[in-house]
Amino acid sequence: MLKTITTMAVLLAISGPSAFALSDIVCDQSNMTKLENDVKGMTDEMKKDYANKELTLAKAAFASKDTDKCKTHMSNAMKGNDPM
């Protein structure tokens, strides 16, 4: 029983941060512009290319008012700028 509870706690801890990260993202024009400027400033061409593709998808989702998709693609574009 204790093993099951511990396993569930670990799985919840691992999955929690990504869900909270998406809830912090606001899909609006000002954040889209900020993200666009961040992507332009990237130096790693592979990451920049990936982030640009995600940014394009985020803009399309924003235009069609699909907030969940917009947040997901914005998050993916930001990951391209992660130092990890």
- The residue ranking higher by pLDDT, 5 or 36, is 36
Q: What's the first-to-final CA gap in the chain, in angstroms?
A: 36
Quote the percentage of the chain above a pLDDT of 90.
62
Query: Distance of alpha carbon 26 from its chain centroid, rounded?
Result: 11
Q: Tens digits of per-residue pLDDT, 44-60?
A: 999 999 999 999 999 99
Residues in the chain: 84
- The residue ranking higher by pLDDT, 40 or 83, is 40
Q: What is the mean pLDDT of residues 17-24?
A: 54
pLDDT at residue 41 is higher than 50: yes
Q: What is the mean pLDDT of residues 32-49?
A: 93
pLDDT at residue 59, rounded to an integer: 95
Q: Tell me which DSSP letter residue 31 carries.
A: H
How many other C-beta atoms are found inside a 10 Å radius of the C-beta of residue 35?
Answer: 22
Q: Tell me which DSSP letter residue 10 carries.
A: H
